Amino acid sequence: MDRRPRVLAISSTGGHWVQLLRLMPAFDGADLVLATSDPAARADALAARAARGEAAPGFMTFPEANRWQKARLAAQLLRVAAILIAVRPDAIVSTGAAVGYFAIRLGRLMGAKGVWIDSIANVEELSMAGRKVAPHAHLWLTQWPELAEEGGPDFRGAVL
Amino acid sequence: MIFLTIGTHEPFDRLVRAVDGWAARHPDVGLFAQVTPGGFQPRHMAFAHRLAPADYRARMDAARLIVAHAGMGSIITAMDRQRPILVMPRRGHLGETRNDHQWATVRRLEGTPGILVADDADALLARLDALAEGGFAGAQSLPPIAPYASDALIAAIRAAVFS
């Protein structure tokens, strides 16, 4: 690629977000937009980029939702679509949860490459969103070598 | 000061009730809790529902011991701040989280310096009593961790992003 790629790094709050920020060196040299469900995370997002000596990232938010909150998931999906249209990323990187599946699934329709890193908390089996995203992700990763297999996610390392 | 955190996604009454009961029996020990709006609200500890990330880290830094659900956000942050942490896993069959991944997490973490594991409330209270007797001097801090993910994982993501 001749120009700087534009990356959307998106995840739920909590452990998913903590793990996403530990991936910051992966985005050096790219234009970056960070997205999560907690508006108060903006300061951390800016600080994480500044620590890399990189240009300030965009920061966007979306409503939080889990698999049992169908109406909230619908609102989240619509918001993810709006974020994708605004950002037009070349690549989407997510540590989960469902929001990452939405972003990678929809982003693929726009020609974006999806990178899924299943949470380090999923020690014994891949997350549900991680299983569903498989056919749509360009790079599909687990953080536990025992979960890597033929026809399954790859293992390339962990956030710790 | 003990800082209790259960994450912002779901209540965890079993842990909050246990620590709140312990707080009632130990008025000499300062405690602060981050709990969810839904679920049991502490009666013997100051608490908040949401903490801004900087505030959350400050509470961790000020604590002699962190007591937490076995969520990776809490655990990684405690490791990053090098604060001792005592974790109790949420259980899937009790409806405390979506499956038993926290139980699997603590089985992996057991024995890691600076991370104490209590499988249930009884074990948690016994551990708190033992630590309190020693003025929490026995709560071993975690060794420092690298600030970012492994080089191999970073490289794999970069290869995908920049190709």
Q: Is the pTM of this model over 0.80?
A: yes
Q: Report the C-alpha gap between A58 and A43 in whole angstroms.
A: 11
Q: Are A134 and A126 in contact (CB under 8 A)?
A: no
Looking from the CA of B119 toward its CB, the CA atoms found within 13 Å total 4
Residues 76-105 of A with CB under 8 A from B: 90-91, 93
Residues 5-34 of A with CB under 8 A from B: 5, 7, 13-19, 22-27, 29-30
Residue B11 tokens read as 């209540």
Q: Are A45 and A57 in contact (CB under 8 A)?
A: yes
Q: How confident is the model at residue A142 (pLDDT cuts 50, 70, 90)?
A: very high
Q: Are B78 and B56 in contact (CB under 8 A)?
A: no
For B38, residues 6+ apart whose C-beta sits below 8 A from its C-beta are B10, B11
Write out chain A residues lying below 8 Å of B106, CB-based. Answer: none
**Mapping DSSP to helix (H, G, I), strand (E, B) and coil, where does residue B82 land?**
coil
pLDDT beyond 70 at B62:
yes
Q: Inter-chain contact A158–B153, Cβ cutoff 8 Å?
A: yes
Q: Inter-chain contact A26–B98, Cβ cutoff 8 Å?
A: no
Write out chain A residues lying below 8 Å of B115, CB-based. Answer: none
Q: Inter-chain contact A27–B7, Cβ cutoff 8 Å?
A: no
CB pairs under 8 A between A and B: 127
Q: Are B34 and B68 in contact (CB under 8 A)?
A: no
Which amino acid makes up residue A11? Answer: S
How far is B115 from chain A, CA to nearest CA, in Å? 15
For A88, residues 6+ apart whose C-beta sits below 8 A from its C-beta are A6, A110
ipTM confidence score: 0.96
Q: Inter-chain contact A157–B152, Cβ cutoff 8 Å?
A: yes
Nearest to B15 by CA among B89, B79, B113: B89
pLDDT tens-digit readout, A66-84: 888 899 999 999 999 999 9
Query: What mean pLDDT comes out for the span B75-87?
Result: 94
Q: Inter-chain contact B162–A29, Cβ cutoff 8 Å?
A: yes
pLDDT beyond 80 at A9:
yes
Specify the pLDDT at position A133.
97
How far is B108 from chain A, CA to nearest CA, in Å? 8
Write out chain A residues lying below 8 Å of B152, CB-based. Answer: 156-157
**Mapping DSSP to helix (H, G, I), strand (E, B) and coil, where does residue B110 land?**
coil
How far is A14 from chain B, CA to nearest CA, in Å? 5
